[in-house]
Amino acid sequence: MSERNFRKTGSGSGKARSRYLLWAGIVILVVVLGWALLSYLSRPSAPRPSQEVAVEKPLLQREIILYFSAEDGSHLVAETCEIEECTAEEDCLRAAVQALIAGPTGSLVEVLPANTSLLGLQIDGPLVSIDFSADMVNGHPGGTQSELLTVYALTNTLTVNFPHLRQVRILVEGVPVETLKGHVDLRQPVSPDYSLVEEMSAPAGDLSNVPVRSE
């Protein structure tokens, strides 16, 4: 009888020990997992790459001088204008001609027909050839004084802002023209003439520091 009781007691003690070991293992596993999770969460996160915000730089401007007709059409008057900063001579010339085509901002009168397009330009030493669309002729009102103002507004504008340029040749659709409307002889390149400019008008532009294209 006592032997049977011993066997039962021993069997129950083994089961209790197994359960104890099982729970101990579970507790240890939970502790290990908890520690690992805590370590992972407490790790300093890698810094995110900073996103650079693109900041648009303000466009630099250059001041040039343009010549337009007075309201009564009797003479030329200088008007200052700002164009985008340019370093190439051709770009600066194009910008000046385009500004002249765009017309004045004040009360002065345009000297080039509004629909005129600049087709191209070519620099040959002190001479610049400017090629316009047919609107330069077709849209021009004509008349001796009007033609004089057109020709010398263009020539004076380019030579005053680019002092190394001394003559301007006008082309239309790639062909040199003899005249616009029959009053001003354009068979030869035109030199500047400031006798048509109002006294006390601005005498010079500030594009003289643009590098001259080397030949």
**Counting beta carbons within 10 angstroms of the beta carbon of residue 94, is it exposed (0 to 12), middle (13 to 18) or buried (19 or more)?**
middle
Could you report the per-residue pLDDT of 126-185, keeping only the tens digit for each?
999 999 999 999 999 999 999 999 999 999 999 999 999 999 999 999 999 999 999 999
Going through 133-193 in order, the beta strands assigned E by DSSP cover 167-172, 175-176
Q: How far is CA 129 from CA 16, 134, 165, 170, 201, in A?
A: 109, 16, 11, 6, 26
Instruction: Return the pLDDT at 210.
Output: 44
Q: How far apart are CA 164 and CA 1, in angstroms?
A: 131
pTM of the model: 0.68
Least confident stretch, 29-33, 60-64, 88-92, 189-193: 29-33
